[in-house]
Structure 1
Amino acid sequence: MTRFIFITGGVVSSLGKGLASAALGSLLQCRGFKVRQRKLDPYINVDPGTMSPYQHGEVYVTDDGAETDLDLGHYERFTGVSTRQSDNVTTGRIYSDVIARERRGDYLGATIQVIPHITDAIKDFVLSDITDEDFVLCEIGGTIGDIEGLPFIEAIRQLGNELGSERSMFVHVTLLPYIPAAHELKTKPTQHSVKELQGAGIQPDVLLCRADRPIPEGERKKIALFCNVRREAVIPALDVDTIYRVPITYHQEGLDDQVLRHFGMEAPAPDLSRWENVVERVTRPEGEVTIAVVGKYTNLLDAYKSLGEALTHGGIANNVRVNLDWIDSEIFEREDAVAHLEKVNGILVPGGFGERGAAGKIAAARFARERNVPYFGICFGMQMAVVETARNKCGIATAGSTEFGPCKDELVGLMTEWVRDGVVQRRSSESDLGGTMRLGAYAAHLAPGSKVREVYGTDVISERHRHRYEVNPTYEKVLAEAGMVFSGKSPDGVLPEVVEIPDHPWFIGVQFHPELKSRPFDPHPLFKSFIGAAVQQARLV
């Protein structure tokens, strides 16, 4: 019997509902249960694929090609369970599906309304595509009281009634702000948030109270009294030194015990040794390296959430702290790259869209190539490394990408055709922007004797993609003569997936996004190897 836990948030946004859901999922896993995690997003976009990183942060891509919320990355990193298209839905998708059904006549002439049609569609999503999971954790995006979130709150209220308390549970995440002038943690915002939730017909079973300091016993009792929950169900969620300590602290405060108590279940105590080992390596490393991340969205680090975590995982694998120097690539259009990069141990150029900042990424790739600094180019970072080599080693001064407009030598061009699951996919410059990229997991074959083959330890890999431009394979020979080889290709040998410079200490560019598959317990091979090369670089300085 599958049980459903609904996680809501109140008071303010960015309280960490996604991390809370991920940590609870991991705790239930550690107690022997099978879990699944989902995110219900109230915004009207069909998915975050066309949203600016400054508005939404990172777009997380699943194996089956869904562009989803970044919280799904937390779910995967904490539980190791791969998410799917059926684990993230938005208001836009719900309304699109309902309207499509209405146009087909599926509702037999009924007047379409939020209740029951929209709420029924949300409930269908929550209950669909479930097999033998013990728990499904559903996080509701936004903050209680948001007008766009009301249909989702109503839908889970209905589900709570239909499933009963033996199969449903509500966890509410709130804030206890500290007022320095009064020297007090204030409970009133939490009280008001719970009152808002109760007004929507939902009584929370557990309160996760975010605070930056211990919550006195008196305040916990006060919250329990005014919010109609047991005192043991008021769980402190205090700030910690690393997100990977969250499952440990939640267990110490009794969160997983309260979940099992609610459902009348028993299970062995969780084995948290793997989390303790991760925390030990993160907080007490044996050394440190500095990696420059040269990107265009560095003013909002959520745009690179999985990337930052994957670099941390590379540090865990090498038992070093990875200090990240986030550099706006546009700065190299005004200043010399040497001043910003000469003291770093590695350079990573991540993905991005559009011409803004491209010149800076090219400058970073050139610095890494000429100074023998470990270089890792991801997606756009790979493409700019190829353009840099073409311009400065092959003498093709007009090398560029059609993403920036027409150019004489199209080193990078728009993909118009590729194969997915045996079916030819076709796109053009006139196609919609949303959902039209090469998305999801694709296989690649690695060249024997190559550096990337050595790193992976296998000939065939599967990695997640999100791009619509591709390195032009017709330039393979001229690039190889300049020292850059295509060491990974699509199974049909057409699309370049990996480039590298064999006589460089570590210079690899990949068309895919390996950061999406890195886990704290299982660091991605490329990040493990890249940070290992940075450690060697640090020893040479």
Structure 2
Amino acid sequence: MAKKYIFITGGVVSSLGKGITSASLGFLLLSYGLKVSIVKIDPYINVDPGTMNPYQHGEVYVLDDGAETDLDLGHYERFTNLTLSKKNNFTTGQVYFTVITKERRGDYLGKTVQVIPHITNEIKKRIKEAGKDKDVLIVEIGGTIGDIEGLPFLEAIRQMGYDVGRQNCLYIHLTLVPYIKTAGELKTKPTQHSVKELQSLGISPDIIVCRSEKRLNNEAKEKIAMFCNVEKRAVINAVDVDTVYEIPLKFKEEGLDKLIIEKLTIQPNKEANLNEWKNMVESIKDPKDSVTIAFVGKYIGLKESYKSLIESFIHAGASMNIKVNLKWIEAEDLEEEGTREKLLGDVDGILVPGGFGSRGIEGKIKAVEYARKNKVPFLGICLGMQTAVVEFARHVAGLAGAHSSEFNKDAEHKVIHLATKWEKEGQIIERNEASDKGGTMRLGAYPCQIKTGTLAWHIYKRKNISERHRHRYEFNNSYRDVLSKHGLIISGESPDGEFVEIIELKDHPFFIGVQFHPEFKSRPLKPHPVIKAFVEKSYESKTTKSTT
């Protein structure tokens, strides 16, 4: 059990930034030498977001242990550089599934199973397990105050104040303070109503974080403090900023870190030093140059579907003091004749990311072909690597109609197919076409061995790496020899040789495909080497073009 708990709730509207707020607090507290962890509780009944449409929920973030989690876990890991696990994210579905399983097993000895105490006890048990051996555990409650799905969680965190002692528990409420343009003023009433709703559930916030377009004036802070029963200094303004990585610095300016340390009577182990983070933020805000990379995706209507990938390019650009401009291209648009030169002719690099389903596949293959033929730096991730293999098989190796069995089960040459058996941490995992969709992919961190002398070796500069995966289909080893004979380089594979992890081409400035998702391990102060190398080569391509 953690020594101290911080519970973060939200009101008025969703998507205010509870995840970024939680991640920023984690970063600030870690800078004092404290042992910190973060939990995200999602009130939806899905067991996890693995089967949810990215358009509805955004990116599914994958952890080392294979847990498919909410995208806020990505914020947590990026800001804090922690490696989290499945205990750091749980849902209503998981809680009820556990309680019902116990009831069927007879664990409750015939008692009537109820929300209180059985559901709330399970919630508290999971929170306490996640905080084991930590100085501070930050717990973010998804959704907004008033959502019926969130009531058991709010009751559970109310009880936590009683269980661990109010002096060891801090409640932070995040609200919106809208700016009404016609009136020319910020309105505090939505915040007052939101806090009133929270208080009616037995929780009085200690700190209120106010999201606003414009800075709160003294009068607005005093009004919120008086009507919401908090100290004026505990009304923290979270004004819109140029980059989310600036938020911890703004919170520090507002004194939020010192306020939390004081209210929880925490003894810091060292003084915070944020200089390296400040330099990174300045590089993002004031880059010396830019580079343009085509992002050939199929969920571009909702950029949150590619959240970690977008952030990984920000990290890489900041390390070089350049801005990476992503040119969003709908994969289906490339399927029309005459569109490739028009859409791809002005970019410095081409990225084909992961995805599921057949829509836009031929467009992705055409993007790969354009990059290969025109010597444009190329990076394929997951499905992007698979489409690169299909394109090479069709147009270089002469395997007409080559495809992935995911999209054409009758293809003559299934160069990508469903892997049915593999080992993970000593456990044999099996699947087939009839397997459930949820949790049946090759998920989480797997080892990869890199061949010396290859582009991958040049990028990583070591033989053994570990990367996170989220996919069902794999390179078909039956085609290794024929594709290799025509020039496809298999530069990374699983230690047992069963899975192809990295492919590349020689006689090309930069052409690499990876079966894993490098973006999940990219950090603001430590960009992922594959993403960074791709950005560097794309920038080099731009500067070469400008001098010729």
The bucket for the TM-score relative to the shorter chain is: over 0.9
For the residue of structure 1 that corresponds to 2:306, the secondary structure is: helix
Q: Which residue in 2 is equivalent to 1:524?
A: 528
Report Cα offsets for 1:355-387 as digits up to 9, x if no partner.
101011101101110111111100000000000
Are positions 1:348 and 2:348 aligned together?
no
Q: Which residue in 2 is equivalent to 1:425?
A: 429
Quote the offset at 1:130 in angstroms.
Answer: 3.6
C-alpha distance in 1 between matches for 2:429 and 2:159: 40
Are positions 1:258 and 2:259 aligned together?
yes
C-alpha distance in 2 between matches for 1:350 and 1:526: 13
Report Cα offsets for 1:15-45 as digits up to 9, x if no partner.
0000000001100111221110110000000
C-alpha distance in 2 between matches for 1:165 and 1:113: 26
Quote the offset at 1:313 in angstroms.
Answer: 1.0
Structure 1 residues 15-414: aligned runs within 5 Å: 15-267=16-268, 268-335=270-337, 336-406=339-409, 407-414=411-418
**2:37 and 2:130 in contact (8 A); partners too:** no
Are positions 1:437 and 2:450 aligned together?
no
Deviates more, 1:118-127 or 1:163-172: 163-172
Quote the offset at 1:334 in angstroms.
Answer: 2.4
Quote the offset at 1:293 in angstroms.
Answer: 0.7
**2:213 and 2:240 in contact (8 A); partners too:** yes
Quote the offset at 1:481 in angstroms.
Answer: 2.4
C-alpha distance in 1 between matches for 2:425 and 2:272: 40
**2:280 and 2:319 in contact (8 A); partners too:** no
**1:375 and 1:506 in contact (8 A); partners too:** yes
Quote the offset at 1:100 in angstroms.
Answer: 0.5
C-alpha distance in 2 between matches for 1:2 and 1:364: 53
**1:476 and 1:485 in contact (8 A); partners too:** no
TM-score, length basis structure 2:
0.97
C-alpha distance in 2 between matches for 1:239 and 1:199: 30
Are positions 1:468 and 2:472 aligned together?
yes
For the residue of structure 2 that corresponds to 1:503, the secondary structure is: coil
- Computed over aligned residues only, the root mean square deviation of the Cα atoms, in angstroms, reads 1.0
Report Cα offsets for 1:209-244 as digits up to 9, x if no partner.
000111010000000000000000000000001111
Q: Which residue in 1 is equivalent to 2:460?
A: 456
Q: Which residue in 2 is equivalent to 1:479?
A: 483
C-alpha distance in 2 between matches for 1:156 and 1:379: 39
Deviates more, 1:311-320 or 1:485-494: 311-320
Quote the offset at 1:396 in angstroms.
Answer: 1.0
Quote the offset at 1:421 in angstroms.
Answer: 1.2
C-alpha distance in 2 between matches for 1:233 and 1:257: 11
C-alpha distance in 2 between matches for 1:281 and 1:511: 31
C-alpha distance in 2 between matches for 1:480 and 1:313: 34
Quote the offset at 1:283 in angstroms.
Answer: 1.2
Quote the offset at 1:271 in angstroms.
Answer: 1.0
C-alpha distance in 2 between matches for 1:539 and 1:333: 30
For the residue of structure 2 that corresponds to 1:166, the secondary structure is: helix
Task: State percent identity of aligned pairs.
Answer: 54
Among residues 531, 537, 540, which one is paired with 1:533 in the alignment? 537
**2:39 and 2:130 in contact (8 A); partners too:** no
C-alpha distance in 2 between matches for 1:369 and 1:483: 12
C-alpha distance in 2 between matches for 1:502 and 1:520: 31
C-alpha distance in 2 between matches for 1:400 and 1:2: 55
For the residue of structure 1 that corresponds to 2:167, the secondary structure is: coil
**1:60 and 1:73 in contact (8 A); partners too:** yes
C-alpha distance in 2 between matches for 1:317 and 1:256: 27
Which structure 1 residue ranges, 4+ long, deviate > 4 Å from structure 2? none
C-alpha distance in 2 between matches for 1:340 and 1:400: 24
Report Cα offsets for 1:33-73 as digits up to 9, x if no partner.
11101100000000000000001100000000100000000
C-alpha distance in 2 between matches for 1:466 and 1:261: 42
C-alpha distance in 1 between matches for 2:62 and 2:203: 32
Any unmatched runs of 5+ in structure 1? none
For the residue of structure 1 that corresponds to 2:277, the secondary structure is: helix
C-alpha distance in 2 between matches for 1:131 and 1:119: 19
**1:18 and 1:139 in contact (8 A); partners too:** yes
Quote the offset at 1:423 in angstroms.
Answer: 2.2
For the residue of structure 2 that corresponds to 1:445, the secondary structure is: strand
**1:291 and 1:346 in contact (8 A); partners too:** yes
Quote the offset at 1:266 in angstroms.
Answer: 4.4
Q: Which residue in 2 is equivalent to 1:14?
A: 15
Report Cα offsets for 1:434-490 as digits up to 9, x if no partner.
001000100000011110011001001000000010011121122122221111001
Q: Which residue in 1 is equivalent to 2:514?
A: 510
Deviates more, 1:267-276 or 1:14-23: 267-276
Among residues 504, 511, 529, which one is paired with 1:500 in the alignment? 504
Opposite residue 441 of structure 2, the aligned amino acid is M
Deviates more, 1:126-135 or 1:64-73: 126-135
**2:447 and 2:464 in contact (8 A); partners too:** yes
For the residue of structure 2 that corresponds to 1:40, the secondary structure is: strand
C-alpha distance in 2 between matches for 1:525 and 1:256: 32
Deviates more, 1:206-215 or 1:328-337: 328-337
Quote the offset at 1:129 in angstroms.
Answer: 4.2
